[in-house]
Structure 1
Amino acid sequence: MVGNNPSIFQGEGYDFIELREYMPGDDIRHIDWNITAKLQKPYIKIFREERELNVVVASMLNGSVYFGSKRFKQDVIAEIVAMLSFSTIKNGDLLSSYIFTDRMESHLKPSKKLFSVHKNVEEIVNFEALNHKADYKVLADTLFTRLKRKSLVIVVGDFFEIPDFKLLAKKHEVVAVVVRDILEEKPPKMGFASLIDPESGNVLEGDFNDATVASYAKKVTEHDRELYATFRKHHVRFTKVYTHESAGVALRRLFEGR
């Protein structure tokens, strides 16, 4: 945890903001008993001094995350989601979790319970990512439509496609965590080999010599330049985590540098 919140949102004093329906884990001392009695449902008061965040962690689990020279990217994504989620719960904020491929695979409603973290991480670890494609437009459109309250949205994936978070970032604060394996960016010379596309299952055969590998690495570099330029253009903060590195260090740098 860095400061009070891993967000640029700021609180302003102790002014009353709104009433909202009670959720498991909320402080019962903030229940408005008059409104609760009238509506026959428990409601709590939200004050600016609490600066309660609605944190949304979205994981993109397409086939390419089923890869890793040290650890699978899918496992690293699960670790990152766990750290972000436990930090959210510890800070007393509301946590929502999503899993996407080319559709919304699962969704856990806003909660302050540790059970929601355990369930989401277990779903990520056990998810059959092979033969699933990524569609960041589906992710962005779904979150834009479903999230009514201004939120801190953290998207975790390998981002081998350029997402358009322009509208989502205007409505919410968006953070991207790019998870990669070093061999994806700097592959070794393999000679003649057969590779399988983890999204489509198609087999690619060829001679992966020095020239081929260098050409591939150049394309990845160009892709990432465009990716980072797009993030900056849309005011999306981002960091990259490799499978052989400490995810905690990268996340700390990301939120300290706000």
Structure 2
Amino acid sequence: MKWFTRSTSDNKFQQLQAQLSELRTDGLHLTIEEMLLYQSKAGLIDLKASRNQQSRMSGNYLARSKGRGMEFDEVRHYQHGDDIRAIDWRVTARTGKTHTKLYREEIERPVLVATDLSASMLFGSQLMCKSVQAAHIASLVAWHAKARGDRLGGIIFNELSHQECKPRARKQGVLQYLHSLHDIHQQTIAQNEQLHNVSFDIAFEENCQRLRQLAKPGSLVYLITDGNAVNQQSVRHLSHISRHCELIVCLVVDPLEQQLPDVSQRINVAMTDGNARQNITLGDIRTQQMYVDKVSAVMNQKQQLFTQAGARVFSLSCGESIEQQLYNGAHQWIR
């Protein structure tokens, strides 16, 4: 649930409410309308390939390797074994030496998005819950993939259920995925108390394994999660994906998971993760530093595990809109 300290000023609260209104969300529940909003923001990111594509399907991306394709690339001296049908007779006549044309084949890249909507994602201390921000990130990626002509698919999952979307082209693929996001998010809210009693480690590992089975060579794979359930077993499945695909992990974090709120005077508050409960003193410098050190160590461990799996890892806060964070130039996957 969303959590505000009493020290949150009225002005700050009004700013947050204005942002939520602009994003067409209440920060907790998920609607199709707010995800459709990202169709107009698809230009915020660029999903062009950053590594060699290994898929052989025809599509919109130029292969790094040169050979017989449809897109002319360059002319070079004829070499033994070259197809004589590719000889450039004009250049050959002009230079007196045999030259051949080289082409690049256009290839297609499926985009798979795996969105974690587990119980731990139903937390937010300021603007919105991590689960809502995860859905917004997935929506942005989905609409951009559609704009580039990619086929979009993936999985949405929590502790007890998951929904698979086979890669589909055009708007149908995006809408299929957005409706699945909405349905699983509603289930997570309805089953929240029940999900807190279920271990998510095994479910996360199983969904990483299923994602590995879905990801064909040359795919772009996004995993959107808070990383709370990542372990060596799930890293093993993700490592297999990164060998043949481009793997990007978006770690969704909440401001309260990075540091304690700033307050003008010391306040004793009770905190709980749904199971354990403890008291903590806000406004105490020593407590603040201990908290920052501990959460930094946890975040570094998550990032190291995903990096070990061969993924590019980015952190996005649910305390600020995606658009604001991307315009601030904090991430390499923007234009």
Please state which band the TM-score falls in when normalised by the shorter chain.
0.7 to 0.9
Question: Which residue pairs with 2:332 in the alignment?
Answer: 254
Match of 1:122 in 2: 182
Match of 1:144 in 2: 212
How far did 1:185 drift?
Answer: 1.7
Match of 1:5 among 44, 48, 52: 48
Q: Judge conservation of contact 2:47–2:145 (CA < 8 Å) in 1.
A: no
8 Å CA contact retained: 1:57, 1:96: yes
Partner of 2:35: none
Shift of 1:3: 5.7
Contact 1:150 1:172 in 2 (8 A): yes
Q: Say how many residue pairs are matched.
A: 223
For the aligned residue pairs, the C-alpha RMSD in angstroms reads 3.0
Q: 1:15 aligns with which of 64, 69, 81?
A: 69
TM-score (norm 2): 0.58
Cα drift, residue 115 of structure 1: 2.5
List aligned pairs for 1:103-118, cutoff 5 A.
Answer: 105-112=162-169, 113=172, 114-118=174-178
- Alignment of 1:224 with 2:310, yes or no, is no
Q: Secondary structure at the match of 1:254?
A: coil
Distance apart, 1:125 and its partner CA = 4.3
Preserved contact between residue 226 and residue 253 of structure 2 (Cα < 8 Å):
yes
* Structure whose alpha-carbon radius of gyration is higher: 2
> Does the CA-based 8 Å contact 1:104-1:139 persist in structure 2?
no
Equivalent positions of 1:154-233 (< 5 A) are: 154-163=222-231, 164=235, 165-188=238-261, 191-197=268-274, 202-208=275-281, 210=284, 214-233=289-308
Which residue number in structure 2 is paired with residue 63 of structure 1?
A: 119
Q: Distance in 1 between matches of 2:157 and 2:214?
A: 14
| Aligned residues of 2:47 and 2:144 also touching (Cα < 8 A) | no
For 1:181 and 1:142, how far apart are their aligned partners in 2? 27
What are the Cα deviations for residues 35-87 of structure 1, in whole angstroms up to 9, with x where unaligned?
xxxxxxxxxxxx96433111100011111111112111111111111000011
Q: Is the contact between residue 134 and residue 225 of structure 2 (CA under 8 Å) also seen in structure 1?
A: yes
Under a length normalisation based on structure 1, what TM-score does the superposition of the two structures give? 0.73
Residue 219 of structure 2 aligns to which amino acid in structure 1? Answer: S
AA of the residue aligned to 1:236: A
Gaps of 5+ in 2: 1-42, 54-61, 71-102
Distance (whole Å) between structure 1 residues aligned to residue 246 and residue 160 of structure 2: 22
| Aligned residues with identical type, % of pairs | 22
Distance change in 2, residues 1:101/1:208 (3 Å): farther
The aligned counterpart of 2:24 is none
